[in-house]
A and B are shown apart, each in its own frame.
Chain A
Amino acid sequence: MAADLAELERMIAEALPGAEVEVVDEGGGDHLRAIVTAPQFEGLSRIDQHRLVKAAVRERMDDGTIHALSITASVPG
């Protein structure tokens, strides 16, 4: 089943209030990229920034909807 990109964007946006989120399909409906600009990323290491995004969509990783999620994380400004 292809992932519902809008649902994933909503899940990330709810976990990171104030974030700008875009989820794009990089192939086959299950290799996705999340482009996230969030104030919560300030001062975090890259891996911690990615942990926040992955935690927001963990349910869809665990149920196999997403096979691979690449993340581009940045701080606004």
Chain B
Amino acid sequence: MAANPELREQLEHAIAGNKVLLLMKGTPEMPRCGFSMRTVGMLEQMGVEYGAIDVLPMLQPLREVTTEIADWQTFPQLYVDGELLGGCDIVEEMYESGELADALGVEQPEGEPDVGVPQPSGAPTQSPPLQIET
């Protein structure tokens, strides 16, 4: 089934408009999935501003869009500079190897990733939630 073209356009717009964009289950303040929570924790550790979109209200339509644009079906998904970097496990490997810091253009932070409840250090740049016509 083809993805909803309007939703695809909205998502592409959000990806283009945010240097770092996380598609996640829940919000950075209240993640609804352990993998999303870990990914938020790593972004917070990096101290970068990022946009976040909660995929749960439109999980299946968004899955169809990300299948089309990035050949990826699971969430979270971290987009940097318009490209899908990966899900939680790829981001973790890249965090540990220093590649994530390189991709984000920041210094590698000291210590281990904070995989507990994220404590947002600043106010992340939150994208307006995507809307779809029903």
Contact = CB atoms under 8 A, between A and B. Distances in A.
Interface stretch (A3-11, A36-44, A46-54): A46-54
B48 interface: no
**A interface secondary structure, majority:** helix
**B interface secondary structure, majority:** mixed
B85 interface: yes
A46 B90 contact: yes
Contact of B94 (A46, A68, A70): A46
Interface residues of A, number: 12
Contacts of B90: 46-47, 50
A70 B90 CA distance: 9
A54 B35 contact: no
Nearest to B92: A70
A58 B84 CA distance: 19
Given A54-B73, A68-B74, A46 B86 contact: yes
A59 B28 CA distance: 31
Contacts of B29: none
Interface string A40-77: 00000011001100100010010000001111100000
A58 B72 CA distance: 11
B71 interface: yes
A57 B73 CA distance: 12
Contacts of A58: 73
Given A54-B73, A68-B74, A46 B93 contact: yes
7 contacts: A50-B86, A50-B89, A51-B71, A54-B73, A70-B88, A70-B89, A72-B89
Interface of A: 46-47, 50-51, 54, 58, 61, 68-72
